Amino acid sequence: MPFLDLAGIRLHYDIEGREGAPWLILSNSLGTTMDMWQPQLPALRERFRVLRYDTRGHGQSGIPAQDFAVEQLGRDVLALMDHLGIERAHFCGLSMGGMTGIWLGIHAGARIDRLVLCNTSAHIGPPELWNARIDKVRNEGMAAIVPAVIERWFTPAYRQRAPEEVERVRRMLLETDPQGYVGNCAAVRDMDQRGEAATIANPALVIAGTHDLATPAADGRWLAGQIKGAAYVELDAAHLSNWEQADMFTAALTRFLEQGDKNG
């Protein structure tokens, strides 16, 4: 699979789908890889030219040696687009990927067609929570936090009915490099985009989960209310709504993106 070497970091990415179709960039959550989008790929490959990538510090991308912010995560996306000659693309990010999408909508809206922000927030705190998680991972490794993360990410009903799917996500979390994880935790900890969210002018869809404890549905409703004309969909799911309600998530995503293609 291909890589892009930036100053001090290597990004791993993958391209699938029809040549000549509209570009769609997918951005993963904290602690996962590009494989978190597997439930959506069969449908998306038929309709779009899909660019997935491992956010820095995750998967096969490099581990940053220096601190960074959500701004850098957004600039990584722009660098990938420049490298591949992509002038404009749809963008869909979940959780941390959604925070990256908020930054892109605020600072690089001209490069984005339609923006899908899933199970995310313009600010997520308090800092003490993140500092405690960072210290725990540094001292004890990823295994120390994975059980609690899985409980926040999936409802008890889903964990019971889909143990194999939950296990796939658990493995992604366990295999995340601790240094890469804590670097991204710090970037999320320091992020506050609440004051600028209302400047996003892209057609936007916000997807939230009714049972999401990590980025509550109230945060999604607030975000949708800040972006003029934004659509809002709330699913009967916890944090990883694209797994727990995969069919409904995919249907909402494709319906929203194809509205733009028909209008364009």
**pLDDT tens digits, residue range 10-34?**
999 999 999 999 999 999 999 999 9
Question: Does the predicted TM-score (pTM) go above 0.85?
Answer: yes
pLDDT single digits (tens) 181-223: 999 999 999 999 999 999 999 999 999 999 999 999 999 999 9
CA atoms within 13 A on the CB side of 227: 29
CB atoms within 10 A of CB 218: 11
Task: Give the separation between CA 116 and CA 98, rounded to whole angstroms.
Answer: 8
Residue 66, both tokens = 């220096």
| pLDDT tens for the chain, residues 1 to 264 | 699 999 879 999 999 999 999 999 999 999 999 999 999 999 999 999 999 999 999 999 999 988 899 999 999 999 999 999 999 999 999 999 999 999 999 999 999 999 999 999 999 989 999 999 999 999 999 999 999 999 999 999 999 999 999 999 999 999 999 999 999 999 999 999 999 999 999 999 999 999 999 999 999 999 999 999 999 999 999 999 999 999 999 999 999 999 865 544
What CA–CA distance (Å, rounded) separates 242 from 194? Answer: 24
Rounded to whole angstroms, the Cα distance separating 24 from 9 reads 23
- Compute the distance between CA of residue 144 and CA of residue 136 in angstroms, rounded to an integer: 7
> Residue 58 CB: number of other CB atoms within 10 A?
28
- CA–CA dist 204, 230 (Å, integer): 5
Is the Cβ–Cβ distance between 53 and 27 less than 8 Å?
yes
CATH superfamily of 3-263: Alpha/Beta hydrolase fold, catalytic domain (3.40.50.1820)
Q: What is the mean pLDDT of the chain?
A: 96
